[in-house]
Structure 1
Amino acid sequence: MANLAQSARRWSDRVNWLVERVCVALLLLLVVDVWLGVLVRYAIPLPITFTEELARYLMIWMALLAVSSGIAYREHIGVEFVFTRLPAGARRWLAVAFDLIGFAFFFALFWYGLGFAEKGFSRLTMIYAIPKGYAFAGVPLAAFVACVQLALMGVHDFFAERAPEAAGVSIAGGGPE
């Protein structure tokens, strides 16, 4: 069963690797967009009006996607004060319970986010005049990736040879089993 835990950890690392690169790309676009907005507002008189709206959507997508990275590093919800004082068996079950609670939350966010994004396709953005559904699609996408990470981490927590030492310890990269 330890192989299953290690396999789940490896898959979690792969998903996280991709998500981190997407977040960095979104951050770079955000920085360029904000700088362009500052330049056209104060230095170069160009009629570019999209920068503020684009910055908002880039920031939302980046922040939502980064949640799954926090899950992979185990930097999400957890009660350290109680968790670290429990015996190993109880820590394992509590970690799995945290994963299940988080999964339920993000699955609900995914499910209702689909409807939210679908309704967004009937509304247009102010500047671009494109459907808001494209921007709103970040909610169910990020919730889905968070569910994948929580499922992988739950399998890891349940089948690992050793129980987790802490609820929020950074274990990405295949830390000790």
Structure 2
Amino acid sequence: MSALADNLTRISRWLDTWVERCSVAILSVLVLVVWLGILSRYVLPWNLTFTEELARYLMIWVALLSVSLGICRRQHVGVLLLFNRLPRPLRMTLSLAFDLIAFVFFAVIFYHGLTYVERGFSQSTMIYGMPRGYPYLIIPLASAVACIQLTLSALRDLLHRDTQPASGTA
């Protein structure tokens, strides 16, 4: 069982690393775009209207991608004062129940996100004129990654008998 748990942890961390790299790259571009927008509005004589729309999409992308980072590292929001005082079997049961609820939530978002993307391809963005389906792709993508990380984290918690689930630490 330990080898399986180690493999699950390795897969989860690999996925976490790539999502983190993508998030950092998107955040870096976001900072540059916002600064370019500020410079073009107040300092330079340029009229760059695309920066506002691009910054909005990039902010949404980085925020939604970052959800899986918190799931993988078990750093999502929670009040652990009472949770940590519960007996271990009850903590495990509650942790699995919370993971299942979150999985269902993200699965529903994934399903409806696909519909949203499909409808988005019949609409155009205001400034770029590109189909809105492209920026909307993050909805099913981020929710799928969240479902994968929830599954890997729950299995990892079940197989690692000596660790505490949902402890808020990596």
Please give the range of the TM-score, normalised by the shorter of the 2 chains.
over 0.9
Residue of structure 2 equivalent to 1:150: 150
Residue of structure 2 equivalent to 1:175: none
Range with bigger deviation, 52-61 or 72-81: 72-81
8 Å contact from structure 1 (residues 92, 163) kept in 2 = no
CA distance in 1, matches of 2:20, 2:26: 10
Structure-to-structure mapping, 1:1-150, within 5 angstroms: 1-150=1-150
8 Å contact from structure 1 (residues 68, 142) kept in 2 = yes
Measured against aligned partners, the alpha-carbon deviations of 1:56-91 in whole angstroms (never above 9, x if no partner) come to: 000000000000001011012544133211112222
- In the superposition, the TM-score normalised over structure 2's length comes to 0.95
One-letter code of the match for 2:56? Answer: R
Percent of paired sites with the same residue:
49
Range with bigger deviation, 42-51 or 1-10: 1-10
- In the superposition, the TM-score normalised over structure 1's length comes to 0.91
Q: Secondary structure at the match of 1:86?
A: coil
Q: Where in structure 2 are there 5+ consecutive unaligned residues?
A: none
One-letter code of the match for 2:122? Answer: S
Q: Secondary structure at the match of 2:169?
A: coil
Please report how far the alpha carbon of residue 118 of structure 1 lies from its aligned counterpart in structure 2 after TM superposition.
0.8
One-letter code of the match for 1:147? Answer: C
Please report how far the alpha carbon of residue 47 of structure 1 lies from its aligned counterpart in structure 2 after TM superposition.
2.8
Q: Secondary structure at the match of 2:131?
A: coil
Q: Where in structure 1 are there 5+ consecutive unaligned residues?
A: 172-177
Give runs of ≥4 in structure 1 deviating > 6 Å.
none
8 Å contact from structure 1 (residues 106, 146) kept in 2 = yes
Bigger relative contact order (CA 8 A; separation at least 6): 1
Please report how far the alpha carbon of residue 122 of structure 1 lies from its aligned counterpart in structure 2 after TM superposition.
0.6
One-letter code of the match for 2:149? Answer: Q
Q: Secondary structure at the match of 2:100?
A: helix
CA distance in 2, matches of 1:44, 1:70: 39
